[in-house]
Structure 1
Amino acid sequence: MENIALIFWPIPVGLLTIVLGLFLLRETSRGITRDGDYKEKHAKNILIEEIKSLADSHETAAVLADLIHKDGAGSWPPRANHDHSTWPEALRVYKEIYLELAPLLPKVTPSLDDDINRACVDDFRSCFRQKLRDRVDLVRVRDLLEAAGAGRWDVFPRDTYNAFYCCIASSRHAYRWATIPVVKVAQLETVVDMPAELDEPWTYLQRHYGCDSPSGNNTSNLLLNFGTDGEHAFKINTGMPESITSSEEAFARIFYNVELLGLPIYHDMVLATIRFAQGDKVACLKHVARITAQLRPLLNSYYDHMHDGKIARSVWLSHVQGFFAWGVGHIDKTSNEWVKFDGLSGNQVLLFHALDGFLGLEPYLSPRDQERNVPARQRALGKAFKKHSFRRMVSGVLQGGTDAKIEEEFSEIVKRIRVFRSAHRTRAKAYLSQPAPERLPMTAGKSLLEPSTGESIRFLDRFMVRRLSQTV
């Protein structure tokens, strides 16, 4: 129960409930609070209501409140309703088809024969196309999506919209790869024509979320893949041994837990920014110190799960990572050039975009890659924190004052992020070094790499070292 003393800082009585809410959310995420469902929801609701109440006070609060309301369906991590019986009837068939085909995707041991793999990929896609053609009523689907586009969320509730986004994104990746582990013949494709039943809804969905990559993103495929009951919805290793299925789910939950533990950090980032703007540096220091403290359990959630005991190195590269890649493209209608798109990456995680902005750091992703792969309202939050970053305003001050203490907390936040990025660099190498003879070296976020595993790891390491050097 480290840093519990933080809740006894002198604070206005009116904020006591909020502070207790923060404490409950942190302790629930650690597993200390056993009757956790109610208390966790109560703590989240306290924070969300406070963020909403601040929306008229500052741009960062307004952008965060807008993100929670629109993309989060009123919650964060975003609420996704995967209860099949509550979906509009025209959409249920998508989930039914995915669940029917999911057992055909994975194999314990993949073939190394290109001809066999080509036939396997083609057969899966043919079956998928036929089921979609026979059972999806695109007119009814289009009507629902247009209703949502017109703001008719009574017809198509936001939490169901989120779950449908995940369903279509998962279906597109299943169609793209057609077999797990992914194989060379699929990797070497440059264009994959998606069925209209997966392409037309995708256009509406991406317009709503404000990103145009055909591959989806961390939000569509991972964050929204957990329902309101915590159930992992669209699985990719159905019927495989437990070491594979548990590794898949443990990996996905890392991303969900980051946002669960990130909510109180966003809240304190907003309050720290507001208090600094108001000239209340004592209150600002309190909130920056809370961010420092809350980073520890958040980053520990990564350290505690991204290791061989929870996510087996022997199966992650083959049965988990490949599904989230993309590596195909299309002809750009404006330039008439072929444009390749990459897949999912940890660099799309909101928490790190927000922290980089709060610290005044440049984003890792280029503006083009952000627009392709990061939902618009998440991009807006990172930009808002960057616009109002006050870190440089307290740097280089004399020791002893409140400014100096705020600077010390900022330095500690940077230190913890550097340690995380260094640890991630080490663990990424260990996982990417595993043998995968059925495929060429590839990451989800950067697609095909160098001809050999060693060259590929050195290539990726340059990106990780560069980001580590920028985290100052």
Structure 2
Amino acid sequence: MLYWIYSKWTSRQPIEVFPVPVAGLSTGILQDSQEHIALKCLRDLIHIGGGGSWPPTATYDSWPPALSAYNSVFRTLEEALPVEEASLDNTRNREIIDSFRARMRSQLDRSIAIEDVEVTLEAWKSQKDCSAHAAWLGFFACISFLRHAYRWGVTPIVSEAQNETFLTFPRALELPWIAIQHRFGITSPSGCMTSICYSNMASADHLQYSVTVGMPDEHRSTEFWNTKLVCDMEAKVLPAYHLFAQAIRFVDLELPESARDALKMANETLKAALKYFFKTMVDSNISHAVWMAYVQGFQGWALNGTDGISGGQSLVFRTLDAFLGIRPWPTHEKERLHIPEIQRNWINCLRDYDIRAVSRERGYDEVTAELDSLVKQLRVWRMGHMRRMQPYESVHRPERLHMTAGISVVNASNENQMIEHLKKELGRRLAQTL
């Protein structure tokens, strides 16, 4: 991995490059003292949005005592959620779901002192330092897992739960969720990529919360690699985020050669990251047979018209679309559902500047050429992803309705129709990647 330091500014600002450990990337960006709104938004993303690093650093052992009991509740129930063979009997599934929810309510009633939680959350919300935000991220993950477990009642998920249109959650899960929504600036009732993926990597080889406890190794590996791949992509593209912000600053300073050089490096960084993505997203890591049942299903929501986790929530690809001016943008209301405010600030900063439009207007042809190369890479990735997703999304699961985590229940009578629906959705974004 490469890192960069900028020398004293001259008429052209050269980029000196030397290797540093990956762990130093976030620190290096935070120490970049150059002034520009794009750099400030990136530093805020890391310092505030990530608890000091990107991808985020979540902590799980530094919560106030009244909140730590939520972790114990999840641990008590984690082995009761997954089953190896899903039932096709709706009556039986209703019994399983109701029984699991009753157990969770009982555990919450016994373990959670709701008045103490209310007082603690009120006091804790004023804590704004880096360590406090890392703790909030861990708590965000815990409550998200509890809410998704309560929502489904069993994994693999079943049509009996998918058919629900409304669900009342226990107050012990609603009260902290309101505080979480306020803290992160989101409106969705469900977890998101930030809480269930980014904030769930306890270490390089360990998930903090799992919904495949007690399942065979293939299930555990699939859940682990699904999360690790998402987080690894953020780590591998982080240098490009910095280069994007620097390129904007260079263009503002009318230093197109320096902007071009930064974008050349960003192209190489992105190329390596996308290669890693396709090398890692293989059946030996993320099983075709297991993924839909034990990962995709749990991460969905399909309640009250709200979707769950989607690959579209990935900051990597939202950043690329924003930086490259690939439209249309999502509405503010839709983006606010699942994307924390600090991430939205970073994305919107890139959108507002629109470096491709500025470079074309100023006749910076070499800058434009590097930006066009980034677009071509993104197009190739989207074409490849359209092919790679088909074996995963076409697995036959008779216990459930056709559903993606990010689009909810799909009106499809068989797997072929489901794939055609997904190809249409992905193809629309591919056509816009110009």
Fold agreement, TM-score > 0.5: yes
**Greater RCO structure (CA 8 Å; 6+ sep):** 2
- Structure 1 residue aligned with 2:39: 61
Cα separation, partners in 2 of 1:18 and 1:193, compared to 1, 3 Å: farther
The Cα shift of 1:152 comes to 6.0
The one-letter code of the counterpart of 2:73 is I
The Cα shift of 1:11 comes to 6.3
The reply on whether 1:265 has 2:212 as its aligned counterpart is no
The Cα shift of 1:445 comes to 0.4
Match of 1:128 among 104, 113, 136: 104
The CA RMSD over aligned residues, in Å, is: 2.3
Calculate the TM-score normalised by the size of structure 2.
Answer: 0.94
The Cα shift of 1:356 comes to 1.1
The reply on whether 1:96 has 2:72 as its aligned counterpart is yes
The one-letter code of the counterpart of 2:244 is M
Cα separation, partners in 2 of 1:421 and 1:409, compared to 1, 3 Å: same
8 Å CA contact 1:48, 1:75 repeated in 2: no
Match of 1:380 among 339, 345, 351: 345
- Structure 2 residue aligned with 1:114: 90
The reply on whether 1:105 has 2:81 as its aligned counterpart is yes
Distance 2:313 2:329 in 1: 9
Match of 1:394 among 356, 359, 364: 359
8 Å CA contact 2:240, 2:266 repeated in 1: yes
8 Å CA contact 2:26, 2:52 repeated in 1: no
The one-letter code of the counterpart of 1:342 is D
Aligned residues: 430
The one-letter code of the counterpart of 2:432 is Q
> Identity rate of aligned residues, in percent?
31
Distance 1:43 1:67 in 2: 13
Distance 1:389 1:272 in 2: 12
* Secondary structure of 2:286's aligned partner: coil
The reply on whether 1:317 has 2:317 as its aligned counterpart is no
Summarize the alignment of residues 114-193 of structure 1 with structure 2, pairs less than 5 Å apart.
114-151=90-127, 153=129, 157-193=132-168
The Cα shift of 1:221 comes to 0.9
Distance 2:135 2:314 in 1: 22
8 Å CA contact 1:93, 1:136 repeated in 2: yes
The Cα shift of 1:396 comes to 8.9
- Structure 1 residue aligned with 2:385: 424
Distance 2:182 2:208 in 1: 24
The one-letter code of the counterpart of 2:235 is L
Distance 1:201 1:158 in 2: 15
Summarize the alignment of residues 1-400 of structure 1 with structure 2, pairs less than 5 Å apart.
12=7, 19-20=17-18, 23-24=19-20, 39-50=21-32, 53-54=33-34, 57-82=35-60, 84=61, 86-151=62-127, 153=129, 157-227=132-202, 231-329=206-304, 340-363=305-328, 365-395=330-360
List per-residue Cα deviations over 1:162-209 (Å, max 9, x = no partner). Answer: 100000011100111111100010010001111111111000111111
8 Å CA contact 1:212, 1:372 repeated in 2: yes
Q: Which runs of 5+ in 1 are unaligned?
A: 25-38, 330-339
Calculate the TM-score normalised by the size of structure 1.
Answer: 0.86
Distance 1:195 1:304 in 2: 42
The Cα shift of 1:153 comes to 4.9
* Secondary structure of 2:282's aligned partner: coil
8 Å CA contact 2:7, 2:14 repeated in 1: yes
Distance 2:359 2:345 in 1: 24
The reply on whether 1:443 has 2:404 as its aligned counterpart is yes
The Cα shift of 1:364 comes to 5.4
Which shifted more, 308-317 or 64-73? Answer: 64-73
8 Å CA contact 1:105, 1:174 repeated in 2: yes
